Chains A and B, each alone.
Chain A
Amino acid sequence: MTRNEEIIKELEKNLMTFSQGSKTKNIGTVEKNSDGVIIASGLSLAFMGEQVEFENGEKGMILNLDEDHVSIILFEGGEDITEGDRVKTTGKILSIIGSEKLIGRIVSPLGEPLDGKAGIKSGKSMPLEKIAPGVIQREPVNIPLKTGIKLIDAIIPIGRGQRELIIGDRALGKTAIAVDAIINQKPQKNSKFNPVICIYVAIGQKQSTVAQVIEKLKEAGSMDYTIVVSATASDAVALQYLAPYAGVAIAEYFMEKGEDVLIIYDDLSKHAWAYRQISLVLKRPAGREAYPGDIFYLHSRLLERAVKLNKEFGGGSITALPIVETQANDISAYIPTNIISITDGQIYLQSDLFNAGIRPAVNIGSSVSRVGGAAQTSAIKFTSGKMKLELAQYRELAVFAQFGSELDQATLSQLERGKRMTEVLKQPQYQPLAESLQILSIWAVTSGLLDDIPVESVRKFESEYHNYMQRNNPEIVKTLSTGEKPSEETIKKMEKATGEFKKIFSL
């Protein structure tokens, strides 16, 4: 068969599935174009959220339905649209193409390529707005999603299907935690868990910031399993509003196939700003902090789409890590409190800790994971069990110790161990750690094996200790990486190996 015949056959096959579709179109006339909002008369058959097309090819979405007119927000500038122009409905609600070809790509919330490569036209059309799966389709979170950050994996664990908020002031490392979590999802050969597809949604960010994140992901080889949906600050406000919904629609495409997906919304405060801007130009009544009344629903309907499906429905999951930026550490502002109440826990970053050199600057007292504990492996649960309590006690004692009063030996040793624990929990940016190595570090410090190591040498000790264990005791590392609770025998081996390393280290 010649190439031409093949093409004709393929076209014939395709045309068999072609249906003429709707023979009726609904048109309207532009009455007013101001602030990126078009008021159009006609369009009597239009429905809420429907996509519309203008004469010059520009597109928009219906956000208000009134008696005589509809309000349309535009996806582009719309400077060319003037009074009297024709607009027609498309009969479609906004959707994005879901496809495996999206992996490694950077796209706009409408699915248009932003990386200079070819557009993706074939695939499954996924609606941007969709009702979240109900209780029958869900199951409790029971598989861990490891971020590679010791502090998070040990104390504030995240499970697949969870929604964990990352909250804090600007420039405290919120995005860094999210990027670390993506980097740590690199498929492992012997992992018993499914690989995770990552989606990074940039909302209202600077183009340079998004470019930096993409560069970092490329450097780490993480773009092989990551999709970036970007609506930067220079894009139309409608695109910023749609970006997280586009991201979750793509995530749902993979979830329906039984895959596990991690989605980062960076960040939802800017998303709320975008929605506030839209609402104000649409003349909707403003409420607290000028946000519209449905601002809570805006985020709850988005985050409810993060889910762990049960086996009957494919067993896929969407884990959401929304980011919220606070002003002057105020987590009691409107948007932060809303999102805290929607999510299953929060990782709270604090500037005092950041300035004191504690990075990641996570405030353990205010951070919590409500469901992730159930998903932790027995190994890390066993080692990190008493850590949170000991750290809390240390912080309380440290406050009293500031007054310089005389302290008994037990209190002093508790303070010393607390200092070492804090050191162990420090971790450089973009260097996620395997679970087995996390267990070794946490076990060593909680067992008191680091008590005689000077605080300033703890981090050096830790990195050399990891190298030593990987080189000289790979069987221990292998045993710990299974996720099973270490046996008495393994613990003895660990104690012996650590003792030997300490002798070398002290030389």
Chain B
Amino acid sequence: MTLKQIKKLAQSSFSKDKLDTEKIKKAVTLLNRSQLKAYIKYMKTMEAQRTVKVYIPLKKPTNDMDKKIKRTFLTKKIEYISDPDLIAGIRIIDDDIIYEFNLKDSLENLITHLEQSYD
């Protein structure tokens, strides 16, 4: 089985955006050790693509924030992670894209700008 075929297999292991255990059980019997490794890797990547991680300085998100985020990422699973280092604001990780709207990032950019301006 080629990597492309394994990728397709991994894609079809989901039913309605959720892992289908029956399909996975069937697929696993068709694969050898190295193919299984690739299959798991693709599954993990796809799972990550379906999850949005939201970093906030608070312990819990406010209701308003939760509503807005759910509205923005309609089809995705939302996971909140508390990170007090952000000081204020929010960081959203959607697959391989990071949205930075927090004070920590702004201050870091400011430091870089000043460092690059003076010898």
Q: Does B75 contact A (CB under 8 A)?
A: no
Nearest residue (CB) in A for B106 is A20
* Residue in B97, B106, B113, B119 whose beta carbon sits within 8 Å of that of A25 in the complex: B97
- Alpha-carbon distance A15/B5, docked complex (angstroms): 53
- Alpha-carbon distance A42/B117, docked complex (angstroms): 32
Residue pair A120, B97 in contact (C-beta under 8 Å): no
* Residue in A11, A20, A41 whose beta carbon sits within 8 Å of that of B109 in the complex: A20
- Alpha-carbon distance A121/B113, docked complex (angstroms): 11
Q: Give the residues from 87 to 115 in chain B that come closer than 8 angstroms, CB to CB, to chain A.
A: 93, 95-101, 105-106, 109-110, 113-115
Nearest residue (CB) in B for A123 is B119
- Alpha-carbon distance A366/B105, docked complex (angstroms): 61
Known: A120-B119, A122-B117, A122-B119. Contact between A18 and B99, CB under 8 A? no
Residue pair B115, A42 in contact (C-beta under 8 Å): no
Q: Does A28 contact B (CB under 8 A)?
A: yes
Q: Using Cβ atoms and an 8 Å threshold, which residues of chain B touch A413? A: none
Q: Give the residues from 21 to 51 in chain A that come closer than 8 angstroms, CB to CB, to chain B.
A: 21, 23-28, 41-45
Residue pair A44, B119 in contact (C-beta under 8 Å): no
Nearest residue (CB) in B for A22 is B100
Q: Does A118 contact B (CB under 8 A)?
A: yes
Task: Give the shortest distance, in Å, between A50 (CB) and chain B (any CB).
Answer: 14
Nearest residue (CB) in A for B110 is A18
Q: Does A208 contact B (CB under 8 A)?
A: no
Residues 31-54 of B, flagged 1 when their CB comes within 8 A of A and 0 if not, give 000000000000001000000000
Nearest residue (CB) in B for A125 is B116
Known: A18-B110, A122-B118. Contact between A43 and B96, CB under 8 A? yes
* Residue in A14, A42, A44, A120 whose beta carbon sits within 8 Å of that of B114 in the complex: A14
Residues 146-158 of A, flagged 1 when their CB comes within 8 A of B and 0 if not, give 0000000000000
Residue pair A24, B98 in contact (C-beta under 8 Å): yes
Q: Which interface class (under 10, 10 to 19, 20 to 34, 35 or more) fits B? A: 20 to 34
Q: Using Cβ atoms and an 8 Å threshold, which residues of chain A touch B117? A: 14, 121-122
Nearest residue (CB) in A for B119 is A121
* Residue in B97, B105, B119 whose beta carbon sits within 8 Å of that of A26 in the complex: B97
Q: Does A119 contact B (CB under 8 A)?
A: yes
Nearest residue (CB) in A for B105 is A23
Q: Give the residues from 44 to 83 in chain B that come closer than 8 angstroms, CB to CB, to chain A.
A: 45
User: How many residues of chain A get a CB closer than 8 Å to chain B's CBs?
Assistant: 24
Known: A20-B106, A25-B97. Contact between A41 and B119, CB under 8 A? no
Residue pair B106, A119 in contact (C-beta under 8 Å): no
Residue pair B118, A24 in contact (C-beta under 8 Å): no
Residue pair A121, B96 in contact (C-beta under 8 Å): no
Task: Give the shortest distance, in Å, between B19 (CB) and chain A (any CB).
Answer: 20
Known: A18-B110, A41-B45. Contact between A27 and B119, CB under 8 A? no
Known: A14-B117, A121-B117, A121-B119. Contact between A24 and B99, CB under 8 A? yes
Task: Give the shortest distance, in Å, between B41 (CB) and chain A (any CB).
Answer: 9
Q: Using Cβ atoms and an 8 Å threshold, which residues of chain B touch A11? A: 114
Residues 118-141 of A, flagged 1 when their CB comes within 8 A of B and 0 if not, give 111110000000000000000000
Q: Using Cβ atoms and an 8 Å threshold, which residues of chain B touch A25? A: 97-98, 100
Q: Using Cβ atoms and an 8 Å threshold, which residues of chain A touch B95? A: 42, 44
Residue pair B97, A45 in contact (C-beta under 8 Å): yes
* Residue in B97, B99, B101 whose beta carbon sits within 8 Å of that of A44 in the complex: B97
- Alpha-carbon distance A20/B109, docked complex (angstroms): 7
Q: Using Cβ atoms and an 8 Å threshold, which residues of chain A touch B114? A: 11, 14
* Residue in B96, B106, B109, B118 whose beta carbon sits within 8 Å of that of A28 in the complex: B96
Task: Give the shortest distance, in Å, between A393 (CB) and chain B (any CB).
Answer: 60
Task: Give the shortest distance, in Å, between B91 (CB) and chain A (any CB).
Answer: 10
- Alpha-carbon distance A26/B94, docked complex (angstroms): 10
Known: A24-B97, A25-B97, A25-B98. Contact between A121 and B45, CB under 8 A? no
Nearest residue (CB) in B for A43 is B96
- Alpha-carbon distance A25/B118, docked complex (angstroms): 25
Q: Using Cβ atoms and an 8 Å threshold, which residues of chain A touch B105? A: 23
Q: List 16 A-B contacts (CB under 8 A).
A: A14-B114, A14-B117, A15-B110, A18-B110, A23-B99, A24-B98, A24-B99, A27-B98, A28-B96, A42-B95, A42-B96, A44-B95, A44-B96, A45-B96, A121-B118, A122-B119
Q: Chain B residues in contact with chain A, CB under 8 A?
A: 45, 93, 95-101, 105-106, 109-110, 113-119
Q: Chain A residues in contact with chain B, CB under 8 A?
A: 11, 14-15, 18, 20-21, 23-28, 41-45, 88, 101, 118-122
With A14-B117, A101-B119 known, 19 other A-B pairs at CB within 8 A are A15-B110, A18-B110, A18-B113, A20-B106, A23-B100, A23-B105, A25-B97, A25-B100, A27-B93, A27-B97, A27-B98, A41-B45, A42-B95, A43-B96, A121-B116, A121-B117, A121-B118, A122-B117, A122-B118
Shortest 6 CB-CB contacts between residues of A and residues of B: A42-B96, A25-B98, A18-B113, A121-B119, A27-B96, A23-B100
